């Protein structure tokens, strides 16, 4: 069973930074991660894609966060980060990590979600 564990959420004032992290693991088994992404869901709204990353230089962002958020991954640690700068109240949401993961030795690529971490931007 693959687990994605997010950390780094919290409350921050408008204009401030916050860094989210998501670590993937599979009970000690080796895994290959083909795609990692961050989504968010604000109260009363649908879940939306924030940013995705495949290789070291293949990142894409929602228009609403371009220039403010940076997604990066550490393949050695099976971790993805989301650096969020110049945060706005409308960035308030639960942020979810998502990844396509292959457990080494298996032939099936599965999609997994983290449990979510709350980000609140408020003065």
* Nearest alpha carbon to residue 8 among 19, 16, 22, 24: 19
Give per-residue pLDDT as tens, 26-47. Answer: 988 888 888 899 999 999 999 9
**pLDDT on residue 34:** 86
Give per-residue pLDDT as tens, 72-114. Answer: 999 889 999 999 999 999 999 999 999 999 988 888 889 999 9
Residue 57 scores a pLDDT above 70: no
**pLDDT on residue 56:** 63
Q: How far is CA 88 from CA 11, 32, 104, 119, in A?
A: 11, 34, 40, 11
User: Which are the contacts of 47, defined by CB distance < 8 A and separation ≥ 6?
Assistant: 39, 40, 41, 96
**pLDDT on residue 86:** 98
**pLDDT on residue 10:** 97
CA dist 51 and 65 (Å) reads: 8
């Amino acid at each position: 069973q693959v687990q994605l564990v997010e950390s780094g959420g919290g409350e921050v004032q408008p204009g401030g930074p916050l860094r989210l992290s998501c670590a993937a693991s599979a009970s000690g088994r080796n895994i290959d991660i083909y795609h990692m992404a961050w989504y968010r869901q604000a109260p009363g709204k649908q879940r939306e894609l924030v940013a995705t990353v495949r290789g070291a230089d293949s990142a894409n962002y929602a228009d609403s966060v371009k220039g403010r958020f940076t997604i990066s991954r550490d393949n050695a640690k099976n971790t993805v980060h989301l650096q969020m700068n110049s945060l706005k109240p409308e960035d308030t949401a639960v942020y979810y990590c998502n990844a396509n993961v292959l457990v080494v030795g298996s032939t099936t690529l599965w999609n997994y979600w983290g449990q979510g971490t709350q980000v609140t931007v408020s003065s």
